[in-house]
């Protein structure tokens, strides 16, 4: 029987230390500048590509780590460096996960390499699911994909919003409605190849945090894509839709795989790991500050009010990491999330990130409220974790429904 351990193996430690070095030496010195510029940090992404961090091979190695800890370890270290730059580096991964979750082997082999490009010609990709009137409510999605039987093409129309890398991406993965009569079960995912006519960038958002990550609307106006751009293929889609329609006619309920949800289920523990990285970064700044900042003739950490806060911060961070690691290990081992463990990990870690970064600002006092210290940026960045890829409220709903088996609303 394999020994149970929380200890990373030598290979994992080597990767962790390598990532930590990149985050410390490349990302952190650039973080404040790109936060102020609110632009994609192409030079940092380029540097990540040169050393092998921004590459299909690297993420594939971490994704297929048999312990399941490769991806969360990677996310924690990069987001310890900086959340905005970190999201610019890993944002393509959400689109890649969308292809992995829904695509055929041929589609995976064809499109994912094009999402990254290479060190000399870096590319990014975008996953487009949310809409102006359909964020958490995926059943309200309006973007339509209609099959043109004469040409075998799919025609997409609609507007997507909150898309990381939206409009600047080389490859877009778009979730659209193919059968509106069966709600969220009638969705499918499509690849929009580079330079496809009809796809354009809409509004670019000026955000509270993660400002080094490009977030924008994506407008689809009569976008035509070949049949092979339907992820999974039409035969598989027709079979799935037929089963869903039959269940609807029979008045039965069934958990039918949904294109957007399949992506989010696979990525939620990774988002939890991002939150852990940001929380850990803020905690470490606060701890160092408390050891060196003197008031009334002694370091402020000598005061129980400060010391106990730091003790709670570290405890919550470690607890969040353990939830993320458990969910990641379960996913890698093929164990079902019978208690919504993926959503648990994302929920708790994201709430911890908000709490810990707020406490870090408080410990630094007036200094924590200025941009001279990084906890101000970390606190702004942490707000996103309870919002994107399923709000905290949606995570609680998923957990409650899974535990109770009831259609809680």
Residues known to be catalytic? 389
Residue with tokens 């899974």: 402
> Could you write out the DSSP letters of every residue in 277-291?
HHHHHHHHHHHHHHH
Q: How confident is the model at residue 250 (pLDDT cuts 50, 70, 90)?
A: confident
Cβ-contact 261, 183 below 8 angstroms: no
Q: How far is CA 98 from the centre of its chain?
A: 11
**DSSP SS3 for 100:** helix
CB 228 within 8 A of CB 107: yes
Q: What is the pLDDT of residues 182-194, one digit of tens each?
A: 988 899 999 999 9
- What confidence tens digit (pLDDT) does each residue in 14-45 have? 999 999 999 999 999 999 999 999 999 999 99
| Residue 263 predicted with pLDDT over 80 | no
- What is the chain's alpha carbon radius of gyration, rounded to the nearest angstrom? 22
Q: What is the structure's pLDDT at 398? A: 94
> Residue 249 has what pLDDT?
77
Using the predicted structure, report yes or no on whether residue 253 has a pLDDT greater than 70. no
Burial degree of 39 (CB within 10 A; 0-12, 13-18, 19+): middle
Yes or no: say if 177 and 222 are a contact pair by the CB < 8 Å rule.
no
Closest CA to 322 of 276, 285, 280, 279: 276
In sequence order, the β-bridge partners of residue 122 are: 117
Crossing angle of helices 10-22 and 70-81, in 10° steps, is 20
pLDDT single digits (tens) 154-188: 999 999 999 999 999 999 999 999 999 998 889 99
Q: 385, 350 in Cβ contact below 8 A?
A: yes
């Amino acid at each position: 029987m394999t020994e149970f351990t929380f200890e990373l193996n030598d290979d994992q430690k080597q990767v962790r230390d390598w990532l930590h070095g990149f985050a410390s030496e490349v990302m952190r010195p650039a973080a404040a500048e790109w936060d102020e510029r609110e632009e994609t940090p192409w030079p940092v992404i380029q540097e990540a590509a040169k050393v092998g961090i921004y590459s299909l091979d690297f993420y594939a190695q971490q994704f297929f780590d048999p312990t399941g800890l490769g991806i969360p370890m990677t996310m924690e270290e990069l987001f310890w460096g900086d959340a905005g730059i970190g999201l610019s580096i890993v944002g393509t991964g959400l689109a890649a996960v969308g292809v992995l979750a829904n695509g055929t082997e041929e589609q995976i082999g064809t499109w994912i390499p094009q999402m990254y490009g290479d060190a000399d010609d870096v590319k990014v990709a975008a996953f487009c699911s949310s809409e102006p009137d359909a964020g958490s409510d995926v059943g309200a999605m309006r973007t339509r994909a209609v099959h043109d039987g004469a040409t075998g093409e799919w025609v997409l129309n609609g507007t997507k919003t909150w898309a990381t890398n939206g409009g600047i991406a080389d490859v877009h993965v778009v979730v659209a409605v193919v059968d509106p009569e069966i709600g969220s079960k009638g969705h499918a995912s499509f690849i929009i190849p580079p330079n496809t006519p009809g796809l354009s960038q809409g509004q670019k958002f000026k955000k509270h945090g993660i400002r080094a990550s490009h977030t924008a609307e994506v407008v689809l106006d009569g976008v035509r894509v070949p049949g092979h751009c339907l992820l999974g293929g039409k035969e598989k889609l027709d079979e799935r839709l037929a089963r869903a329609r039959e269940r609807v006619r029979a008045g039965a309920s069934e958990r039918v795989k949904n294109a957007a949800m399949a992506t989010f289920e696979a990525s939620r523990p990774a988002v939890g790991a991002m939150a852990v990285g940001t929380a850990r970064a803020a905690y470490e700044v606060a701890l160092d500050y408390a050891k060196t900042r003197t008031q009334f003739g002694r370091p402020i950490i000598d005061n129980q009010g400060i010391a106990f806060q730091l003790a709670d911060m570290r405890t919550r961070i470690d607890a969040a990491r353990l939830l993320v690691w458990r969910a990641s290990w379960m996913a890698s081992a093929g164990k079902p999330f019978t208690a919504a463990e993926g959503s648990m990990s994302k929920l708790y870690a994201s709430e911890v990130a908000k709490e810990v970064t707020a406490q870090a600002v408080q410990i630094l006092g007036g200094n924590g409220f200025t941009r001279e210290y990084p906890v101000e940026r970390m606190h702004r960045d942490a707000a996103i974790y309870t919002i994107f890829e399923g709000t905290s409220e949606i995570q609680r709903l998923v957990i409650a429904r899974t535990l109770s088996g009831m259609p809680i609303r």
